[in-house]
Chains A and B, each alone.
Chain A
Amino acid sequence: MALATEPTRNGVAPPMSADVVIRMEGVQKWYDQFQVLKDIDLEVHRGERIVICGPSGSGKSTLIRCINQLERHQKGRITVNGVELGPHHRQLDLVRREVGMVFQSFNLFPHLTVLENCMLAPLKVRGTTKAEAKATAMRYLERVRIPEQADKYPGQLSGGQQQRVAIARSLCMNPKVMLFDEPTSALDPEMVKEVLDTMIGLAEDGMTMLCVTHEMGFAKSVAHRVIFMDRGEIVEQNTPEEFFSAPKSERTRSFLGQILAH
């Protein structure tokens, strides 16, 4: 709310002093012989908004999927909200219920209505009452501006609407941090904006966000920090101003050249 006066200004200093929500230390991951993540160190502070970009296959998805352990890492430590991810289910449960995730392909549950999609996890994971789950769901559906679609099935909605429902569904769990994996890549161009606007709205409310995206306009206006990944490494990270105007590494420059040429 404090950021609302200057909604899309990322000039607001990232809250570095605030507590760390995600800490990755020396994280490594292999698929068989192929190393996807090489020694990743990353700290995400409460309220911080980070955009991750990089060429296809550089490990961006893998990195954020390790945070809620959709992929397991083999080496290093990942701590989320004070819980270190280990081999036990209990830690995994604690982490997953605090971390929301939005996918490129929406992944709404097609057999449930929009409202039921939003109510399922609060009911079955948090054990809230039906009335409460419904109230929360309607609140977030209003927030993503589609309350009137509550009783429809996902297949009856446009891509942009589905993605907004997916965001609302995550928010219903009241997550401490939201992960986005190319949330607008599967959308028709005319629907990209409505989803980005929803994400900007989240940013204004101070949500901690980690977004894999190639929407550089979004990165410039919303991110505190832009991270560039290539071949499983974090090659460069900086404020958006510095990142776009004065990229340090050659790999970043050539990547930006390709992206901005479009």
Chain B
Amino acid sequence: MIRAFGYNEFLFLLSAVQWTLLLSVIAFIGGGIVGLFVALGRTSDVKPLRLLATGYIQLFQGTPLLMQLFLVFFGATVVGIDMSPWVAAAVGLTLNTSAFLGEIWRGCIQSVPRGQWEAASSLGLRYPGLMRYVILPQAVKVAVPPTVGYLVQVIKGTSLAAIIGFVELTRAGQIVNNATFQPFLVFGIVAAIYFALCWPLSLLSQRLEARYAAPSR
């Protein structure tokens, strides 16, 4: 039975946005927490930690996100865990995001001049205090624009969760299309919604970058 694309269909798409956003937020927060440790490992003096973090980053940057979602989703089944598409998508996106944020933040940590580490350690600060009070506060300033910019990638990345059956914006689009057979209209609207979510973030990122790039006080 073919329906026309109407107000109800549009509302259905809009309500799916909440799942896209929720998944994005979870991936971003989870990825941020894990990513901090990845970045710390990547900049560590301890060689095994550095190698581990480097391998982790390369693994996730060197394979398609979709394969990572598949591996988490089907891998869970293989080891006997019954994982819902929702959890699988959250875990997969978190891991992927952590690798990319870890690499972005590594650069930010390393952009803090060597002299800052030396001054802090010569005052007797040890690694945790040195990081927390001296290095990270300075790295965060550099990190904000690219991090906000990366949020756009996270939001777009959630669309792949549609393929393992999680109903977010893209999957909702497929469902509506199956009922209406108006793919150009439906996916046009889906794309427009993504754009409405991502564009402000891109703008924000650019403006932040311009602001921080201005000569500091």
- A108–B123 alpha-carbon span in the complex (Å): 11
Residue interface mask A134-171, B partner, CB < 8 A = 1: 00000000000000000001011000000000100110
**Residues of B within 8 A of A (CB-CB), count:** 20
- A155–B214 alpha-carbon span in the complex (Å): 14
Q: Is the CB of B119 within 8 A of A125?
A: no
Q: Is the CB of A111 within 8 A of B138?
A: yes
Q: How far is the CB of B134 from chain A (nearest CB, A)?
A: 6
Q: Is the CB of A70 within 8 A of B129?
A: no
User: Nearest A residue to B118 by beta-carbon distance?
Assistant: A70
Q: Is the CB of A155 within 8 A of B122?
A: no
* B126 contacts chain A at the CB level, 8 A cutoff: yes
With A105-B115, A107-B115, A153-B217 in contact, is A120–B138 under 8 Å at CB?
Answer: no
Residue interface mask A84-116, B partner, CB < 8 A = 1: 000001000100110111010101111100000
Q: Is the CB of A121 within 8 A of B115?
A: no
Q: Is the CB of A124 within 8 A of B119?
A: no
- A89–B45 alpha-carbon span in the complex (Å): 14
**Residues of A within 8 A of B (CB-CB), count:** 28
Most B CB contacts (10 A, CB to CB) among A97, A100, A111 go to A111
User: Nearest B residue to A153 by beta-carbon distance?
Assistant: B217
Q: How far is the CB of A159 from chain B (nearest CB, A)?
A: 14
* A78 contacts chain B at the CB level, 8 A cutoff: no
Q: Is the CB of B217 within 8 A of A170?
A: no
Q: How far is the CB of A166 from chain B (nearest CB, A)?
A: 8
Chain A residues whose C-beta falls within 8 Å of the C-beta of B111 in the assembled complex: none
Chain A residues whose C-beta falls within 8 Å of the C-beta of B120 in the assembled complex: 109
Q: How far is the CB of B133 from chain A (nearest CB, A)?
A: 6
User: Nearest A residue to B120 by beta-carbon distance?
Assistant: A109
* A36 contacts chain B at the CB level, 8 A cutoff: no
Q: Is the CB of A173 within 8 A of B123?
A: yes
Which residues B121-169 have CB closer than 8 A to chain A? 121-126, 129, 133-134, 137-138, 141
Q: Is the CB of B125 within 8 A of A121?
A: yes
Q: Is the CB of B217 within 8 A of A125?
A: no
* A213 contacts chain B at the CB level, 8 A cutoff: no
User: Nearest A residue to B138 by beta-carbon distance?
Assistant: A111
Q: Is the CB of B115 within 8 A of A93?
A: no
Q: How far is the CB of B144 from chain A (nearest CB, A)?
A: 13
User: Nearest A residue to B137 by beta-carbon distance?
Assistant: A111
Q: Is the CB of A97 within 8 A of B217?
A: no
Among A89, A99, A126, the residue within 8 A (CB) of B122 is: A99
Q: Is the CB of B124 within 8 A of A121?
A: yes
* A68 contacts chain B at the CB level, 8 A cutoff: yes
- A96–B126 alpha-carbon span in the complex (Å): 10
Q: Is the CB of A110 within 8 A of B123?
A: no
With A96-B123, A120-B123, A125-B123 in contact, is A107–B217 under 8 Å at CB?
Answer: no
Q: How far is the CB of B201 from chain A (nearest CB, A)?
A: 25
Chain A residues whose C-beta falls within 8 Å of the C-beta of B124 in the assembled complex: 93, 96-97, 121, 125-126, 173
Chain B residues whose C-beta falls within 8 Å of the C-beta of A124 in the assembled complex: 125, 129, 133
Q: How far is the CB of B181 from chain A (nearest CB, A)?
A: 58
* B8 contacts chain A at the CB level, 8 A cutoff: no
Q: How far is the CB of A188 from chain B (nearest CB, A)?
A: 19
With A109-B134, A111-B137 in contact, is A121–B123 under 8 Å at CB?
Answer: yes
Chain B residues whose C-beta falls within 8 Å of the C-beta of A110 in the assembled complex: 138, 216
Q: How far is the CB of A47 from chain B (nearest CB, A)?
A: 22
Q: List 25 A-B contacts (CB under 8 A).
A: A70-B118, A70-B122, A89-B126, A93-B124, A96-B122, A96-B123, A99-B122, A101-B122, A107-B113, A107-B115, A107-B116, A107-B118, A107-B119, A108-B119, A110-B216, A111-B137, A111-B138, A120-B123, A121-B123, A124-B125, A124-B129, A125-B125, A156-B217, A173-B123, A173-B124
Which residues of A are at the interface with B, using a C-beta cutoff of 8 A?
Answer: 68, 70, 89, 93, 96-97, 99-101, 103, 105, 107-111, 120-121, 124-126, 153, 155-156, 166, 169-170, 173
Q: Beyond A93-B124, A96-B121, A109-B138, list 17 extra A-B contacts (CB 8 Å).
A: A93-B126, A97-B123, A100-B122, A101-B119, A103-B118, A105-B115, A109-B116, A109-B119, A109-B120, A111-B137, A111-B141, A120-B123, A120-B125, A121-B125, A124-B133, A125-B123, A169-B123
